[in-house]
Amino acid sequence: MAEFELEIKYKSLPARLGVAIMGLSMPVWALFVPFLLGQFIQLVFKSSGLNPWLCLTVIVTLLILPMAAIIVSAICEDDRILVSKEGLAFPLLFLPGLVFRRERLWADLQFAGVRWSSTVSFAPADLLCLYFRSGGKVYLHLKQVPRADLEKLLLAIEVWGSSCKRPPELVDFQNALANDNKGISNLSYTQMWEEELRHRFSSTAFVPLEPGHHLQDGSLQVVRQLAFGGLSAIYLAQSRGKELVVLKEAVVPSGADEQSKAKAAELFAREAQLLAKMHHPQIARVLDHFAEERRNYLVLEYIDGQDLRQLVKQNGLPGEETVLDWAEQIAAIMQYLHSQTPPVIHRDLTPDNLVLKDDGKLILIDFGAANEFVGTATGTLVGKQSYIAPEQFRGKAVVQSDIYSFGCTLFYLLTGADPEALSVSSPRSLVATVGADLDHLVARLTALEVEDRPTSAEQISSILTEIRAAHSTAVSQSAV
């Protein structure tokens, strides 16, 4: 299981000014002052009539100046907030406000609040305020914290700072930030869920679990709801009070007949057992599955990173070389899944389910087992329509269905837009600078007929190798 550990880069205005001043004055304190000290010491040895106390004062001053400059530089360059399940550690510049105790345990956090202007385009005065029981406080300027890291910091406060007071304004801010990072504008999770239910079902008794709900005799606690779709939900949960996990829930409506319920439960258990056997460094592990209160659950490994949809939304379109690198990684993951006996079909290969870690590795998360489970019982497809192959809409997912979704994912990475459902995609139709080779590949991957797509992930890897080689040749020729 993954433990939540986070290193946030926070460069406050005083720290930036301090670094700038120390950098500009470096020739003085790093070169001129030591030179002056050496010259003065020579003068002392050559001249016998100098006042010894004056000489000592000058020498000490000239020694202290560079040492003080080095200390100030180190303090200003300390720009990391460390977050773990034990507590927080703040940069040295925060020491006065923290009564000179930079490391604080979660139990010491008394209050977490926010001052913001009701928009996720942060103003300079927007602050995250933390107060501690043993004394001291911290004000973090929201504009100085990377948005993805800010969301994780708020999550850590929610999970491990459970004894601190969190006013409604902070909860509203956290939801707004999460929605904006996901590209959902101001739509709340509840509104998302209600809209999804209205779209797919006329009526249902499904109510998602609330934060704080316990499962498996208290060993699992729901931290927050992450997403909803039809009769399934995804939560962030805490296992045994320590590790974070992802909990995927699937519910068969009470109106389904007993035969359908039994068939769906059998499928869910069989697929969950199969997924639990998957061992690949770029696939989130299925840790457990269980049924409780007529609901079925998958427990998945929590991956600390940013999904590709968030990444594109926040940073803009990646370059084609980056897309090619990601595509090769995804193809290798698909190759592993499809080589199993029987082949494992992910069924939900989208930018939302591909998380990029800090080391540049993509991790595939959130298998579609629960979606398949619900669909079997209800006769209703659950999933992201823009990324689902035609045969999967008809309830006959095959290996090439993942290949179709992979092509749709490449379309999003190259254009920043979701593809049109049930259509052959052409990224060049939206972004004219996309290379013809990549455009042709996406069109092949998203062919409407299964037989018109590449037959395997291995074949896709070969095509990607050829495209990368062609790009390298073109770059070499342009440099000549």
The pLDDT assigned to 46 comes to 82
Percent of the chain predicted with pLDDT > 70: 88
Q: In angstroms, what is the C-alpha Rg of the chain?
A: 28
Range name among 107-121, 314-328, 396-410 with the lowest pLDDT average: 107-121
Sign, CA dihedral 94-100-105-107, equals: negative
Q: Which residues contact 339 (CB under 8 A, 6 or more apart)?
A: none
Higher pLDDT, 151 or 434: 434
SS3 218: coil
User: Residue 378: pLDDT above 90?
Assistant: no
Which of the four pLDDT bands, split at 50, 70 and 90, describes residue 134? very high
Residue range 290-312: mean pLDDT, rounded:
89
What contacts 271, CB < 8 A, 6 or more positions away? 367, 369, 372, 373
* Residue 240: predicted pLDDT: 87
**Which of 122-131, 135-144, 252-261, 421-430 shows the lowest per-residue confidence on average (mean pLDDT)?**
252-261
Which of residues 478 and 125 earns the better pLDDT score?
125
Percent with pLDDT over 90 in the chain = 38
pLDDT band at 180 (very low <50, low <70, confident <90, very high): confident
Sort strands 80-83 and 6-9 into parallel, antiparallel or unpaired: antiparallel
Residue 48: its pLDDT value, please?
Answer: 73
Average pLDDT (341-351) is: 89
Q: Of the ranges 16-30, 208-222, 368-382, which is most confident?
A: 208-222
Buried (b) or exposed (e) across 311-346, using 16+ Cβ within 10 A?
Answer: bbbeeebbebeebbbbbbbbbbbbebbbeeeeebbb
Mean pLDDT of 400-426: 95
More confidently predicted of 29 and 435: 435
Q: CB 58: neighbour CB atoms within 10 A?
A: 18
Give the integer Cα–Cα distance in Å for 175 and 151. Answer: 9
pLDDT, residue 332, reads 97
Over residues 165-191, the mean pLDDT reads 68
Mean pLDDT over 422-451 rounds to 95
* pLDDT: which is higher, 308 or 371: 308
> Model's pTM, two decimal places?
0.67
Checking if the pLDDT of 373 tops 80, the result is: no
Write the CB contacts of 34 (distance below 8 Å, at least 6 apart in sequence). Answer: 62, 66
DSSP type of residue 208:
P
pLDDT bucket at 75, cuts 50 / 70 / 90: confident
The pLDDT of residue 196 is 40
For residue range 303-332, list pLDDT tens digits in order: 888 899 989 988 899 999 999 999 999 999
Looking at per-residue confidence, does 179 or 54 come out higher? Answer: 54
DSSP for 334-350 reads HHHHHTSSSPPP-S--S
Local confidence band at 387 (pLDDT 50, 70, 90 cut-offs): very high
- Out of 119-123, 261-265, 359-363, 388-392, the most confident range is 359-363
Which one of 61-70, 182-191, 198-207, 407-416 scores highest in mean pLDDT?
A: 407-416
Write the single-letter amino acid at 418.
Answer: D
Cα gap 352→338, rounded to integer Å: 21
Q: Say how far residue 155 (Cα) sits from the centre of its chain.
A: 12
Residue 184 pLDDT greater than 80, yes or no: no
The tens digit of pLDDT for each residue in 11-66 reads: 777 777 887 888 888 888 888 888 888 888 888 888 877 888 888 898 899 899 88
Q: What average pLDDT does the structure give for the chain? A: 84
Q: In this model, does residue 219 exceed pLDDT 60?
A: yes
